[in-house]
Amino acid sequence: MVVSNVKKVLLVLLVVWIGTLSYIWLPGIVPDFLHLRNKAAADEKDARLKDALGKFLNLGIGNASLEHASKGTEEAVHVVIASDSNTLGGMIALINSIVSNTKSLVFFHLITDKASSEHLKTWLMKSKLQSINYEIKEFPVEWVEGKIKVRGGREELANPLNYARYYLPKLFPNIEGRVVYIDDDCIVQGDVKHLYDMKMHPGTLASFSEDCMGVNKRITLLQNVYADFFDLKNKHFMELNIKPTACSFNTGVFVTNLTDWRKHNITHQLEHWLELNTKEELYGNERGGGGSQPPMMLVFYKKYTPMDQLWHVHFLGWNVRRIYGKQYIKSAKLLHWNGRSKPWGRNAAFQDSWDRYFLPDPTKQFQPVRKGIL
């Protein structure tokens, strides 16, 4: 009796032992019912990425280089944001919203003016954002000196930082592949990884959200087409063969591939229109000046993939309280307060969605204007 029991126990142990070995050595044959392998692999990947990124974390200003990390960061989501001292709090809220809503590794490429880079570093270091992965670049304003001409009185559109988005490959020579650019008057409520990984049609160079869809026409009371922006009878536009009724798009949020951007000399093309506009009045007489948007509409005409509308709910800086429902705002993946009323100002719609992500400035230089606060 005793002997046969011992035999049974040994047999069971043998089976368990063989099973365990197969589980470890023959991963293709034995199913991973405990999900241990995936988790181990994911942990290892995470550690590898963190290690690679760690080499240039918090490098701050200067020749922050992606060289050591470019191989390890394949899976990191690259996000670019530009801000100056007037809007720095927007950048902070935006970063906070992004990291609050994703589990993916994100690398932030932050562009500021000379006056704000130290301020930004302090703000990040003294907040819960101190452990994010980032680099800070000062935008060399001389790159656009003499090239900006804005008409129609919206001087803020002439801010050199608005044009930093034209120079992404030059600012970040070591980034290959995709980046997401997001204006600093936005917050992200969805997982930025989904935006980053979106499907782009073959042959397109970027993705933008179109202005003529959904409720947008009711907000601007315009058709939101190319003819609103350009006098298409101008000789410079004739050869582009632009359809006057083609939808305009907002350039405040876009996904692009910097490898392709370089290949097609996009920066060079954008500068061409910028310079031509300083010599002849090409665009920007209506709709408050034009800013950095029209050249992008010319260069990316028919070369972009329309973005999912929920990923760029815009015009929140307009009078939209009665147009967007609370539920729609809640379901939006990204909110953009383009227009005059900024979410840190006195009167913008849906400010509570933004306030949720704002982190106070430790130096107290930037303060949202709110009821009861001067």
Binding residues for ligand NAG (CB under 6 A): 62-63, 177-178, 257, 259-260, 264-265
User: Cβ closer to ligand NAG: 19 or 62?
Assistant: 62
Tell me the closest approach of the beta carbon of residue 162 to ligand NAG, in angstroms.
Answer: 24
Distance CA 132, CA 244 (A): 44
Tell me the closest approach of the beta carbon of residue 262 to ligand NAG, in angstroms.
Answer: 9
Q: Is 324 helix (H, G, I), strand (E, B) or coil?
A: coil
User: Cβ closer to ligand NAG: 284 or 295?
Assistant: 295
Tell me the closest approach of the beta carbon of residue 160 to ligand NAG, in angstroms.
Answer: 20
Distance CA 177, CA 200 (A): 13
Tell me the closest approach of the beta carbon of residue 73 to ligand NAG, in angstroms.
Answer: 12
User: Cβ closer to ligand NAG: 157 or 206?
Assistant: 206
User: Cβ closer to ligand NAG: 117 or 338?
Assistant: 117
Question: How many angstroms separate the Cα of 242 from the Cα of each of 3, 216, 301?
Answer: 91, 21, 8
C-alpha torsion angle, residues 62, 63, 69, 75 (rounded to 10) = 70
User: Cβ closer to ligand NAG: 211 or 260?
Assistant: 260
Distance CA 17, CA 131 (A): 43
Tell me the closest approach of the beta carbon of residue 178 to ligand NAG, in angstroms.
Answer: 4
User: Cβ closer to ligand NAG: 140 or 177?
Assistant: 177
Tell me the closest approach of the beta carbon of residue 114 to ligand NAG, in angstroms.
Answer: 13
User: Cβ closer to ligand NAG: 256 or 277?
Assistant: 256
Tell me the closest approach of the beta carbon of residue 260 to ligand NAG, in angstroms.
Answer: 5
Q: What is the DSSP letter of 40?
A: H
User: Cβ closer to ligand NAG: 234 or 265?
Assistant: 265
Residue 79, sorted as left (phi over 0), alpha (psi -120 to 50) or beta, turns out to be beta
Tell me the closest approach of the beta carbon of residue 32 to ligand NAG, in angstroms.
Answer: 28
User: Cβ closer to ligand NAG: 8 or 201?
Assistant: 201
Tell me the closest approach of the beta carbon of residue 333 to ligand NAG, in angstroms.
Answer: 20
Distance CA 50, CA 356 (A): 28
User: Cβ closer to ligand NAG: 260 or 271?
Assistant: 260
Tell me the closest approach of the beta carbon of residue 139 to ligand NAG, in angstroms.
Answer: 15
Q: Is 215 helix (H, G, I), strand (E, B) or coil?
A: coil
Assign 3-state DSSP to the chain and report helix, strand, coil percentages, each to 5: 40, 15, 45
Q: Which among 218, 208, 201 has a CA at the least distance from the CA of 247?
A: 208
Q: Are 174 and 56 in contact (CB under 8 A)?
A: no
Strands across the sheet containing 304-306: 133-138, 106-112, 77-83, 178-182, 249-257, 206-210, 304-306
Phi, psi of 246 (to 5 degrees): -65, 140
Helices within 126-282 (DSSP H only)? 168-171, 192-196, 216-220, 226-229, 235-238, 258-263, 266-279
Helices then strands, counting H and E runs in the chain, come out as 14, 9
